[in-house]
Structure 1
Amino acid sequence: MKTHLRVTIVMCLICIGAFSWGLASAEAAGADWKVLQQSTYGDTFSYDASSVKHTENNTLTVLTKTQSGQYLYEMDCKNKKARLLEGAGASQSVWFNITGGEDELLYKAVCP
């Protein structure tokens, strides 16, 4: 009896997860996510190619995502700088130099 109850609970959780994933997929149907980096543990750093927009200030914006959330970057390709506009740790006034890691991968993918 306890086993049957556990199986039922697990099946309900799977159904709820599948439904939630379906909503997220439908919401992002216009997105064009490109994986830039994937760890051996399956963590990924991706950007939405369809979100790349050029601004009036000769910069561009691009949406990225990791397991911890989504981030909106503004990138100054000419000066190899970036800043986070939205997401954890975002501060619109703080530009930082792109010197390596995930930021460098993003820079190489979206900057001409």
Structure 2
Amino acid sequence: MQNAIITITNLRLRTYIGFNPEEQEKKQDVILNLEIHYPGDKACSNDNVEDALNYKTITKAIIDHVENGRFLLLEKLVSSVLEITIEHPWVTYSRVTIDKPHALRFADSVSLSLSWQKED
């Protein structure tokens, strides 16, 4: 089996993230990195669009969810994005990492990752 891996790098969005009063009043930047695996045999051999996982559809759903949402915890945001990435039945593995730039005074960002793997 050919394992196709879609990687979306540095998807920059804005959302309400955090529980401090100033965080709930102003949208903040977040940076998403996604890795989604699915069986790519048919798409690789047939060159048929119907046999490939549509990363544009997944990305649009994520953008809508993140930019129109409000999240107290980075864990909830990452978990909900992971759920969107695994909605399609072909997905066998997904990993989502979201960075929250400037969350700590002396760090470039704080990030959280969650992954999911389909059981055999």
Fold match, TM over 0.5?
A: no
* Richer in strand (by share): 2
Q: Which has the larger radius of gyration?
A: 1
Larger RCO (alpha carbons 8 Å, 6+ apart): 2
When normalised by structure 2's length, the TM-score is: 0.24
